[in-house]
Amino acid sequence: MSHVFPRHTKSVLPVAASGDGAYLIDDQGKRYLDCGDAAVSCLGHSNPAVIAAVQAQVEKIAFAHTGFMTSQPAEALADLLIEHAPGDLDRVYFVSGGSEATEAAIKLARQYYMEIGQPERCHVIARRQSYHGNTLGALSAGGNAWRRAQFAPLLVDMTHIAPCYEYAEKAEGECSFDYGQRVANELETEILRVGPEKVMAFMAEPVVGATLGAVPSVDGYYKRIREICDQYGVLLILDEVMCGMGRTGHLFACDHDGVVPDILCIAKGLGAGYQPIGAMLCSARIYAAIRDGSGFFQHGHTYVGHPVATAAALAVVTELTTRDLPARAAQMGEKLQSALEAALGQHPNVGDIRGRGLFRGIELVADRDSKTPLDPALGTAAKVKKAALAQGLICYPMSGTRDGKQGDHILLAPPFIIEDDQIDELVTKLTAALTEVLG
Ligand code: PMP
């Protein structure tokens, strides 16, 4: 009997035994094409450079508390990230994962306004149907009704505006640009409702991952969001935990939108699964406020800037940048989009195939014309996950929430090293799984 407390207590999972590039292999020798481990394994499972970096660092020094010492890999990783980061982002705060990054971002925004003498600014605005992590602060920012429901009394009061979700919410006859401006302007309305002097930050994902299934914003949306934030002195926090680190075709997803956030959160692809690590990048202005104020960011975890985690991430980001892997993600992503459209574009339950780079989503519907979601009681996402696993494919089907109505989608996040024949394998296996579940 297993004593591990599993995620799903009613199912028995295969045991991961080893990895080989794009494949995970279980203890029975079965191979799974890994296209959905929550967008973590951007380099595949057996990258020699990252493995060597981890081994070398463990032998040198595995741990030194950052209250006393910094470490060479943490310094080098921060330099490398800043070299590639947009705008004036120039400081990096390391944590151990995505929720820690978004949580730290919220606290940094709060401390920034305390330091500059605007203590009344403590309100965060985020978007409906969003996910920013599972700790209580991050969960408060998230606007996914199902994830919030049972913890609601413990959550911090934050408010939510509409996401930019063209497929489901653009009005009949409205052009994409106008739709984007309309939903971006909801931020201004909400800031004015709350009172601009009370709002400290707006948080959103450049390309929405888990909750909506690889939904990019329309052109002009983030430019308008940035304008509104600047007008009212609201900090823009972009959560690139899932869509960042090259997955959408740029090392930083916001480069596509041409905006620079005040605080940017990354994780997942940063360590590529070789070590748990996340990071929060902040602008020179925010850093200066802390440095010239109390001189101390009142936050921290034991494993901040862990030498082995930062050594792994340094090797990952070196691989991503020297091999130009974000460009490869863009190129292979186009191939994946075309292959999905060819195989599934006419399926009666496939409403939309979308995404950016190697971050693709398929929205499942009961009816293509009305875009009516599938009945949640059917449990379609869970069935597709199971059928795909049996086929030897790991993808990431999710039950989303369209404000009360449940919608199912499948998120695909293959490693950037995926080859043409593996894209064929992915599409063939996914089509078989969908056919088994939906006919
Ligand atoms: N933000 C986003 C956008 C995410 O997708 C996730 C994880 N799925 C998180 C934050 C939380 O990251 P973690 O699970 O590493 O805490």
CATH for 411: 3.90.1150.10
Same domain, 242 and 265: yes
Same domain, 344 and 385: yes
How many structural domains comprise the chain? 2
Give domain status of residue 1, yes or no: no
C-beta of 388 in contact with ligand 1 (< 6 A): no
Domain-ending residue, one of 296, 322, 348: 322
Within 10 A of 367 (CB to CB), how many other CB atoms are there? 12
Enclosing domain of residue 344: 16-47+324-438
What's the CA-to-centroid distance between 299 and ligand 1, angstroms? Answer: 19
CATH for 242: 3.40.640.10
234 three-state secondary structure: coil
pLDDT > 90: what percent of the chain?
A: 91
Q: What are phi and psi of 116, to 5 degrees?
A: -95, 15
Best residue for ligand 1 mutational test, from 242, 243, 247, 301 (most atoms within 8 Å of Cβ): 242
CA 208 to ligand 1: nearest atom: 3
| Exposure letters 400-425 (e unless 16+ CB within 10 A, then b) | bbbeeebbbbbbbbbbbbbeeebbeb
Give domain status of residue 189, yes or no: yes
Give domain status of residue 11, yes or no: no
Same domain, 328 and 296: no
The residue contributing the CA closest to ligand 1 atom 13 is: 98
Give domain status of residue 6, yes or no: no
Same domain, 371 and 315: no
Same domain, 265 and 414: no
Domain-ending residue, one of 322, 343, 360: 322
Domain-ending residue, one of 266, 292, 322: 322
> What's the whole-model pTM score?
0.98
Check residue 430 and give its pLDDT.
Answer: 98
The chain-wide mean pLDDT, for the chain, equals 96
pLDDT digits (tens, 9 = 90+) for 404-417: 666 899 999 999 99
Check residue 209 and give its pLDDT.
Answer: 95
CA distance 72 to 80: 12
pLDDT digits (tens, 9 = 90+) for 211-243: 999 999 999 999 999 999 999 999 999 999 999
| Region 385-390 average pLDDT | 96
Same domain, 311 and 332: no
CA distance 166 to 66: 44
C-beta of 406 in contact with ligand 1 (< 6 A): no
Same domain, 202 and 261: yes
What's the CA-to-centroid distance between 268 and ligand 1, angstroms? Answer: 8
What's the CA-to-centroid distance between 44 and ligand 1, angstroms? Answer: 19
pLDDT digits (tens, 9 = 90+) for 248-293: 999 999 999 999 999 999 999 999 999 999 999 999 999 999 999 9
The residue contributing the CA closest to ligand 1 atom 5 is: 242
CA distance 339 to 336: 5
Q: Which of 124-133, 362-371, 394-403 has the lowest mean pLDDT?
A: 394-403
CA 130 to ligand 1: nearest atom: 3
Same domain, 226 and 348: no
Give domain status of residue 194, yes or no: yes
Same domain, 171 and 304: yes
pLDDT digits (tens, 9 = 90+) for 145-199: 888 999 999 999 999 999 999 999 999 999 999 999 999 999 999 999 999 999 9
